[in-house]
Chains A and B, each alone.
Chain A
Amino acid sequence: MVVDFQSVTLAYNGHIVLDGLSFAVESGTFLGIVGPNGVGKTTVLRLAAGLLRPTRGRVSVFGQDPASPRVRSRIGYLPQLPGTNDIFPVTVRDVVDMGLLGAAKSRPVDEVLQELDLRDIQDAPLAALSGGQRQLTFLARALARDPDLLLLDEPTTGLSPMAKEHFLARLKELLERRRMTVIAVYHDVEDMNPLTDRILRLTSRPSPRLRGVR
């Protein structure tokens, strides 16, 4: 198992966000997580990334604690609406370069830029990019690490329909070329990539549960 949640409960400020969630993700699987706002979709992703610790239960990634540097060096993470600080003086290439820090493996940045159709705009300042171009840049940052596990938090939220289509098509292309395990959180089921193998549908009541769709 690449990711394994065993009876995971997470309480925050006395509020139970997740209650006894169990699921496992096998190598090469694309898991989509859906559910209404506030149900804990992003929390699941942050637990898998080692950014949160469960109050009860156990989360393991590659059989280890997800907060360990060895595990983190194999993860590519795309948070929701990252890098919205527009005064930051960085170019597309600078952002992709950041992904190499702390990575166990890496891919040539030029190759990743080419793959996501960003090569022509690699020297453009981030502040000048459209929403779709930004999101592809952050995906490129995650892919530059040549990750074994890719975590995507609402990757298409806020994008125009055209940009959304472009982003999902690029993601599909690269997943067809390179097998990796993916967990993606979606706001709408319609946004889900066609490559999704399984869906984890979180509901507020009863407890979150996993459903296989294929």
Chain B
Amino acid sequence: MKLNDTLRFSFKTLTSYRTRSFLIILAMALGVAAVIVLTALGDGARRYVVNQFASIGTNLIIVLPGRAETAGSFPGAVMGQTPRDLTLEDARWVGRLAEVRRYAPLNVGAAELSAAGRLREVTVMGTTAEIFPIRHMRLAQGDFLSAASAGSAQIVLGAAIAQEFFPDGHVLGQRVRLSDRRFTVTGVLAAQGQTMGFNSDEVVIIPVRQAQALFNTNSLFRLLIEARHRGEIEEAKQAIRETLIRRHDGEDDVTVITQDAVLATFDRILRALTLGVAGIAVISLAVAGILVMNVMLVAVSQRTAEIGLLKAIGTPATVIRRVFLAEAAWLSLTGALLGFVLGHIGSLMLRLAYPLLPAWPPYWANFAAIFVAVLTGVLAGLLPATRAARLDPVQALSKR
């Protein structure tokens, strides 16, 4: 029997047992769809995290005061108690390094903001103008700490805060109070929303010296550094550490984090998660494969007389096996394709429901799902097909 005749013959069989075929195809399709949707979810989460990191800046190096003694805990950093402060002077020295393109010292605290008869608690960031390019922040209006006026009492309001305090939009030049200090509004941040759990719409930014005075501290909370080149991050990290050790009397009491290291860890964790989820979904494919086997076994016993007849008119066992295998292949292939479509519809709905989550299944998942589905289907068809081919024709024919 020629291949296309085999395929047509087995296809015709499937269309004449519609309910049976439909149920099997559905089982297969759900298995494949599960693989695609779950990997889309897992990979979407991974990409979300990666994107979040990328939005902070890719050449970023962060210096924290205090030393992480063992992996996983930063007691000094959390408590704000460190043997030696990370000072503005330290920052300036680091800024002179050849590997450093720009740097921004950072102090963070909370204070009461009052203006136009309103009062609320806000997060205050004390820093320099360099923070904008480093953190990819943008100003909606005005400017901040143009070089001439470094250290003066300027303040930039987050988009939401500006809206709250000055709903009429006349913000620039307004005078506000932060605790007991007066500031002049020189700029408003562009609305950016949430990045890495930090909402830049809800902060105010003041010069770092003003912040240190406000919070009565000499130590920086963080020092953000942008390396000149992505490839030089390791060298930059090394140079920064050496500079700070030298300045801190030979003591290695800062922690230097590169975003790449954090990113790689997250990437690894989430990739493993995606694989795990895909593994669970593959089990549903195996279940579908067993279903195909069951149904094919039932089909063989239902069609015993037909197999006997095929033998009587001179069909070799190999051809009979091929016909039943083709049937299994049709079932699983159709199921896999339907599942592929269902899975992508599912992923699309995920993306519509959670626009932040880029829930696209990874390429390998598409291929793997279809490949595994067809493979299990055909493997599951082997046993029934072989059984059909081995039937004794005389006994098969005597069965009605």
Are A and B a genuine interacting pair, yes or no? Answer: no
